[in-house]
Amino acid sequence: MRALRLLEWKSDPVLTEVPEPHAGRGEVVVRVGGAGVCHSDLHLAHDFEPGQLPWGPPFTLGHENAGWVHEVGQGVTGLSVGQPVAVYGPWGCGACLRCLVGIETYCENPAAAPVPGGGGGLGLDGGMAELLLVPAARHVLPLPEGLDPVTAAPLTDAGLTPYHAVRRSWPKLTPDATAMVIGIGGLGHMAVQILRATTAARIVAVDTRAESLTMARQLGADLALAPDEDAAPAIREFTKGRGVDVVIDCVGNDATLALGAAVGRSMGDLTIVGLGGGTLPVSFFSPPYEMSVQSVYWGSRPELIEVLELGARGLLNTQLTRFSLDEAPAAYRKLAQGELEGRAVVTPSPG
């Protein structure tokens, strides 16, 4: 079968032929209906050096995956061939305390995981192929009625990651609170919808692109503006001087982190989602008193179940562009050049 594979660090992925996988004991093979094109794949392809991660090429890209059960291994129950499913992407050891409650992103025994700190498309073969081997049935989640694999695929990361970021701040997102999303791209446009669907907070959206700000307003943002010199005063005025209770930074560079700290409210949250490589100076007087600053990586398996339910109910809609497997290299080029809005999804096995 064909697969889009990263063959070595500092290179572009290429389409090549690989053997079809088969399910061993406890394993599941998924026929891939949708595989999300994620910006982190560009970081993998071009920014990492040999030895930086505990795993490396060659492997098939694609860590946002959904499709249909193709084959189940011995001992697998609760899944049937042809059933539409989503794949939970982080694959931990399955036995440590974090894995037992479904937070496999933060597996505390990575040496016992299929690949330390990774998963399908992250060290092991992912979903940019017709078939995906999933090493444990617990990672395969039935899709709720009304949600198809193409729509579900980006929810497994582009939906799950901002959902986890927003959910952990729910106690601060009261009806009199304000949340700000910086970067209305693949994850940011999801974050706006998640805030609108799960909280009563007012929403500020920040992006450099006029079309992204228009999309943010259409998705429910109360204020959408560019990150220029007038942004911080405008946001302060919008919040009546109190500042933003929760900042979700989907960019994560020096400028966006500085903006988040400048408009943040004391005792608020600044959550770094984007991989922009920025840093935030910390001193006694800055960020605001008792503002919590944290990064997040993906989300939990129980949270993915909740995200899929939001998608099935029409409360979380991906702005997506479809590409065939042959077009997958072009999709990554468009992503790198900033020519995509929302999320691109590759469909190796459509329909």
Mean pLDDT, residues 90-101: 97
pLDDT tens column, 270-309: 999 998 899 999 999 899 999 999 999 999 999 999 999 9
pLDDT tens column, 54-73: 899 999 999 999 999 999 99
Angle at 93 between CA 106 and CA 16, to 5 degrees: 95
CATH superfamily of 2-157+299-346: Medium-chain alcohol dehydrogenases, catalytic domain (3.90.180.10)
Mean pLDDT estimate for the chain: 95
**CATH for the stretch 160-295:** 3.40.50.720
pTM of this prediction?
Answer: 0.95
Domain residue limits, the chain: 2-157+299-346, 160-295
Mean pLDDT, residues 98-116: 95
DSSP state for residue 286 in the 8-state scheme: B
pLDDT greater than 90 at residue 104: yes
Q: How high is the pLDDT of residue 252?
A: 96
| DSSP assignments along 85-147, one per residue | EEE--B---SSSHHHHTT-GGG-S-GGGSSSTT-EETBEE--SSBSEEEES-GGGEEEPPTT-
Which carries the bigger pLDDT value, residue 51 or residue 136? Answer: 136
Mean pLDDT, residues 312-319: 92
pLDDT greater than 80 at residue 342: no
Residue 211: pLDDT band with limits 50, 70, 90: very high
Q: How high is the pLDDT of residue 349?
A: 87
pLDDT greater than 80 at residue 341: no
* Structure-block tokens of residue 319: 């702005």
pLDDT tens column, 224-281: 999 999 999 999 999 999 999 999 999 999 999 999 999 999 999 999 999 889 999 9
Mean pLDDT, residues 113-120: 91
Mean pLDDT, residues 21-27: 97
Q: Which candidate, 179, 165, 168, 194, places its Cα nearest to that of 309?
A: 194
pLDDT greater than 90 at residue 327: yes
Q: How high is the pLDDT of residue 292?
A: 97
pLDDT tens column, 129-153: 999 999 999 999 999 999 999 999 9
